[in-house]
């Protein structure tokens, strides 16, 4: 693969930094919260699914690229190749498959009665990366007109909960932890922490 060809195929995903600390010694990455953005490219189909290859430190030298270039390419390619999917939990349970929504679509979705939403991509594969797509969180914040909690369900999706008096951050973290140890495959666990998005500042924290 040539560098020009690589430029259009590099994407990013998010993983837990502590759980993958040995891996992070071998691959270019960017830390955020307790997570790490790592870069990958998609290979050929195998057993009905695309093969994913992490881009490693050795390849940076082989292709003569730096982390900044990888990040720039990935931030353009990932939303384009794996567009965001945002829909209510009710629709998800009904088997609803959302198309790629615009900011206006997100506004319409958030006017529903159920204040729980699922953020992923249209393939529902490595969709937690949507947390770092440009303007996604701000679009959600503008739509719900509220700060909100982000529950990291897995590396594939996150749950969005507008702030409410009916639950606490500590209670939500207990739920995330229990689900992680009982229902999520270890290699797919994203975090035991619940994140908080402050609408007025546009910042995410844990």
- Split at pLDDT 50, 70, 90, the class of 114 is very low
Whether 38 has a pLDDT exceeding 60, the answer reads: yes
Nearest-angstrom CA–CA distance, 129 and 127: 5
Domain co-membership, 108 together with 185: yes
User: Is pLDDT larger for residue 120 or for residue 5?
Assistant: 120
Domain co-membership, 68 together with 143: no
Whether 91 has a pLDDT exceeding 90, the answer reads: no
Domain co-membership, 28 together with 96: no
CA separation, residue 56 to residues 63, 67, 192 (Å): 11, 11, 26
pLDDT in the model for residue 136: 95
Domain co-membership, 54 together with 18: yes
Closest CA to 19 of 34, 4, 1, 37: 34
Domain co-membership, 95 together with 143: yes
Whether 58 has a pLDDT exceeding 90, the answer reads: yes
Residues 169-188: what's their mean pLDDT?
91
Give tens-digit pLDDT for 120-130. Answer: 999 889 999 99
Closest CA to 73 of 8, 4, 3: 8
Domain boundary (39, 57, 80) is at 80
Whether 90 has a pLDDT exceeding 90, the answer reads: no
User: Is pLDDT larger for residue 44 or for residue 70?
Assistant: 70
Give tens-digit pLDDT for 129-142. Answer: 999 999 999 999 98
User: Is pLDDT larger for residue 47 or for residue 203?
Assistant: 203
pLDDT in the model for residue 44: 67
Nearest-angstrom CA–CA distance, 192 and 97: 27
- Split at pLDDT 50, 70, 90, the class of 109 is very low
Domain co-membership, 126 together with 198: yes
Average pLDDT, the chain: 85
pLDDT in the model for residue 42: 79
Between CA 6 and CA 182, with CA 120 as vertex, the angle to 5 degrees is: 115
Share of the chain above pLDDT 70, in %: 83
**Structurally, how many domains does the chain consist of?**
2
Domain co-membership, 90 together with 67: no
Whether 48 has a pLDDT exceeding 90, the answer reads: no
Domain co-membership, 58 together with 106: no
Domain co-membership, 48 together with 114: no
pLDDT in the model for residue 68: 95
Domain co-membership, 105 together with 185: yes
Domain boundary (64, 80, 96) is at 80
- Contact indicator for 56, 23 with CB cutoff of 8 Å: no
Share of the chain above pLDDT 90, in %: 64
pLDDT in the model for residue 120: 94
Domain co-membership, 74 together with 130: no
Domain co-membership, 90 together with 57: no
Domain boundary (18, 48, 80) is at 80
pTM for this predicted structure: 0.84
Residues 30-53: what's their mean pLDDT?
82
Give the range of the structural domain holding residue 148, as residue numbers without chain letter: 84-205
């Amino acid at each position: 693969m040539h560098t020009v060809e690589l430029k259009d195929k590099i994407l990013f995903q998010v993983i837990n930094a502590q759980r993958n600390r040995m891996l992070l010694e071998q691959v270019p990455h960017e830390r955020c919260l307790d997570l790490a953005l790592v870069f990958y490219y998609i290979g050929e189909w195998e057993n009905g699914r695309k093969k994913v290859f992490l881009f490693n430190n050795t390849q940076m030298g082989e292709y003569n690229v730096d982390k900044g270039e990888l990040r720039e390419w990935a931030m353009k390619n990932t939303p384009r190749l794996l567009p965001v999917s945002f829909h209510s939990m009710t629709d998800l349970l009904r088997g609803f498959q959302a198309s790629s929504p615009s900011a206006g679509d997100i506004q319409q979705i958030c006017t529903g009665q159920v204040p729980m939403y699922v953020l992923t991509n249209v393939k529902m594969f490595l969709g937690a990366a949507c947390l770092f797509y440009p303007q996604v969180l701000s679009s959600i914040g503008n739509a719900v007109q509220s700060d909100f909690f982000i529950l990291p369900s897995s590396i594939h999706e996150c749950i969005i909960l507008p702030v409410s008096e009916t639950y606490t951050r500590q209670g939500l973290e207990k739920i995330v932890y229990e689900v992680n140890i009982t229902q999520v495959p270890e290699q797919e666990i994203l975090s035991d922490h619940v994140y908080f998005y402050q609408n007025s500042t546009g910042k995410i924290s844990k």
